[in-house]
Amino acid sequence: MHPKSLLIATIALLMAGPGPAFAAGGHGHGQAHAHDTAAIGRPAAVSAARRTIRVEMHDNHFTPDTLRVKAGETIRFVVTNKGDFLHEFSLGTAAMHAEHQKTMAVMMEHGMLTPTGIDAERMKMDHSAMPGMDHGVGHDHANGVLVEPGKTADFAWTFDKTVDLEFACNVPGHYEAGMVGTVVIGR
Amino acid sequence: MHREPHTLSRRAALRLAAAAGLAGVVTAHAGRHAFAAADRALDLAVERTRITIDGETTRAIAIGGSIPAPTLRWREGEEVVVRVTNRLDEPTSIHWHGLLLEGVMDGAPGFNGFAPIMPGETYTYRFVLRQAGTYWYHSHSAGQEQEGMYGAIVIEPAGRDPVRADRDHVVLLSDHTAEAPAAVLRKLRISEGYYNNGRRTLVDFFRDAERDGFSATLRDRLAWGKMRMDATDLADVTGYRFLVNGKGVRDHWTGLFRPGERVRLRIINGSAMSIFDVRIPGLAMTVVAADGQDVMPVRVDEFRIGVGETYDVIVLAREDRAYTVFAEPIDRSGYARATLAPREGMAGEIPEQRPRTVLTMADMGMDHGGMDHGDMDHGGSDHAAMGHGAHGAHGGSAGHADPAPARAVGWADAATPPGAKALAYDDLQSLTRTADLREPAHVIDLRLTGMMSRYVWTLNGRAFDDGEPIRVAYGDRVRIRFINTTMMAHPMHLHGMFMELENGRTGRLPRKHVVLVPPGRTLSVLVTANEPGEWPLHCHLLYHMASGMMARFVVEPRAARL
């Protein structure tokens, strides 16, 4: 993996986790991370994937906008940002995305994210002050990646069971504008 | 001063048409011959009709048999042909607001060789759609737009739309009066206070300030606003009914959705005189386009929309309930209301109306040095009618700390509650990069001026009839500075080309066909003059334009200068 992609993936670990722990302010609990993603599957080593799906990000939509996987299947996602703006590829239910959008909005307000990129310095500086954020590193719940314009990142995910799953970009405004697709989980 | 009302009204009604007649002789019309079939052809008749708003029936003018006129759904790249037949007994026209097209097709009488469509005549418009997005069309003759001649245009992009929605609704705002527009203008001219008793002027303010001191006077104004006795110069025609898609408050237009759907609302301010604050209690709106042009999505709770502007917003209505689209004119003289609901026959809750704001020193132009007091007419204002008894009444509570109930101070203040986000022009960033990065070759200062008490609205102190055209060379990049020296906001509209609003978003300046210039402020825009012709540049408040607040923006071919 390219070093820059590693950084991106690390940041993804930090923040792509489901929102509640982070967004809950003073009520942050480390364990809040654990239960949310379990419902939608689990992260996997890229090497464990038998199949690769390539996804392109544009301003502001995905190509393709429907993904077909099988329950139990491990997929390597290779995600390329072909747009001018920062985008995210995140797996979750509509409710998870809604929560995560709040987190992303806060990060944008704090300058950790900008419309076109990730401010690694601010990310380091600020995250420890935010309840929930400091628990993020090292947890195994990378259900997405943030990818800067022109960059490519990959990650792997094992899909467990049939749920209403979406892949979405939760950079403020992008989900609303339609940067979301459906994951169809077959048997 | 007093003039014959009859003369005034006649002049008012015929002003634009007369100017048009002169120019119309000069140029032959490419549009007036028969064509082979284009991608789309359409016939629209303009005719007198009657419209019933919440049970009250009045005279009106319809395009294509309805008010609003039929929504025109087109596709970028198509060539469209529209045959407009005038069944009125007066000249008419249709202007395609925001569309980039050949000058004569723009449909503004007196410009680019377009002559008004005379009674009984059919005019064939023909143009290629060079853009996508939400626009609108309306009459550019006399007061016909006020009488119902407006409709929406929706152009699908040739490529993939960067915005995806499950459902798409046009929300066309307008203001409706039972009075004939010529009568409205006549009354405005005879007496500036006709629709606005108790209106205070800047001159009054200075007089009061001299006598009472600035802060006391400002307090006084605040008190006036609270008592709702001061029309505060926010709007100068009242008595309107406010419509959404031609429906009044009682009949309320309903747009359907299925819970969970992503709904795109194409909100157009097609009113003659009303600037609205728009919100949907219970739903956040994500603004995805302004004036038809895609912008980086920005999530807001409300926005202000000037006359002629459009905003596309996305709402995610997840609940199985009715929502109210609520649009209040900034003078709070009423509201327009629509319903978003999963089924017909439902109604959302009507929110409480917001207070009317009170203008401040900044709104009166105190923050720029260019104030020309000569523009204000001292003679016409009736100071005695202001009722200073109210000032005394306020004296009793002066000095007490006011716990500040819902109150709005300053033009820009929509009384947005804490924590809610109102769209600001600074939030708008084009989704695509600014194409022309040249520094402007020159700067054009356009002072928005007026003699309020005689209802004369002008640009650089001159009415359209005696103003000089603004001339720029084809291909030049120019900056226009709109310097508002008046106490009203003016939605300034340039035909033929987009203005790139200099809002600090360098490299992604939003492209606008209307910029709403707040009272006492200056806004600047950049224009690449790449559409030859003579284009109207005017205030889109109908009666301001009719009273002279318009200029000719001429893009001259370079060859002509050799």
Residues B13 and B32 in one domain: yes
What percent of chain B stands above pLDDT 90? 66
Confidence of residue B533 (pLDDT cuts 50, 70, 90): very high
A19: left (phi over 0), alpha (psi -120 to 50) or beta: alpha
**What Rg do the C-alpha atoms of chain A give, in angstroms?**
15
Closest Cα to residue B408, out of B349, B484, B331?
B331
What percent of chain B stands above pLDDT 70? 76
Q: What is the pLDDT of residues B28-86, one digit of tens each?
A: 333 333 344 467 789 999 999 999 999 999 999 999 999 999 999 999 999 999 999 99
Confidence of residue B201 (pLDDT cuts 50, 70, 90): very low
Range from B233-237, B269-273, B396-400 that averages highest in pLDDT: B269-273
Interatomic CA distance for residues B268 and B292, integer angstroms: 10
Interatomic CA distance for residues A166 and A100, integer angstroms: 13
A142: left (phi over 0), alpha (psi -120 to 50) or beta: beta
Tell me if B306 is assigned to some domain: yes
Using a CB-CB distance cutoff of 8 angstroms, which residues of chain B are in contact with residue A93?
none
Q: What is the pLDDT of residue B108?
A: 96
Residues B515 and B460 in one domain: yes
The structural domain count of chain B equals 4
Residues B498 and B524 in one domain: yes
Looking at residue B522, which CATH number applies to its domain? 2.60.40.420
Query: Hey, are the CB atoms on A173 and B160 less than 8 Å from each other?
Result: no
* d(CA A177, nearest CA chain B) in Å: 5
Cα within 13 Å of Cα(B55), Cβ side: 2
Final residue before a domain boundary, out of B160, B184, B209 = B160
Residues B325 and B445 in one domain: no
Residues B185 and B207 in one domain: no
Query: Hey, are the CB atoms on B297 and A85 less than 8 Å from each other?
Result: no
Query: Hey, are the CB atoms on A176 and B165 less than 8 Å from each other?
Result: no
Q: What is the pLDDT of residues A6-22, one digit of tens each?
A: 444 444 444 444 433 23
Q: What is the pLDDT of residue B3?
A: 38
Residues B308 and B390 in one domain: no
Residues B153 and B205 in one domain: no
- Which of B280, B287, B296 to probe the A interface (max A CBs under 10 A)? B296
Is the pLDDT at B347 greater than 70? The verdict is yes
Confidence of residue A28 (pLDDT cuts 50, 70, 90): very low
Query: Which residue in the set A61, A172, A173 is minimally distant from B164, CB to CB?
Result: A61
Q: What is the pLDDT of residue B189?
A: 77
Query: Which residue in the set A61, A94, A173 is minimally distant from B299, CB to CB?
Result: A173
* d(CA A25, nearest CA chain B) in Å: 17
Q: What is the pLDDT of residue B235?
A: 73
Is the pLDDT at A178 greater than 60? The verdict is yes
Residues B453 and B484 in one domain: yes
Query: Hey, are the CB atoms on A59 and B297 less than 8 Å from each other?
Result: no
Distance from chain centroid for Cα B334: 17
Residues B238 and B316 in one domain: yes
A window 140-179, beta carbon within 8 A of B: 172-174, 176-178
Q: What is the pLDDT of residues A124-161, one digit of tens each?
A: 654 444 443 433 333 334 789 999 999 999 999 999 87
Residues B224 and B237 in one domain: no
Query: Hey, are the CB atoms on A59 and B162 less than 8 Å from each other?
Result: yes
Domain limits for position B95: 5-160
Query: Which residue in the set B165, B260, B296 is minimally distant from A173, CB to CB?
Result: B296
Final residue before a domain boundary, out of B160, B186, B214 = B160
Domain ranges of chain A: 3-186
Tell me if B417 is assigned to some domain: no
Give yes or no for A122 touching B (CB within 8 A). Answer: no
CA torsion, ordered A93, A98, A99, A104, to nearest 10 deg:
120
Dihedral angle sign, alpha carbons of residues A162, A166, A170, A176: negative
What CATH number was assigned to the domain covering residues A3-186? 2.60.40.420
Phi, psi of B518, rounded to the nearest 5 degrees? -65, 160
- Complex ipTM over 0.90: no
Residues B543 and B432 in one domain: yes
Query: Which single residue is written with the structure tokens 């728009």?
Result: B278
Q: B396 or A154, which is more confident?
A: A154
- Global confidence as pTM: 0.82
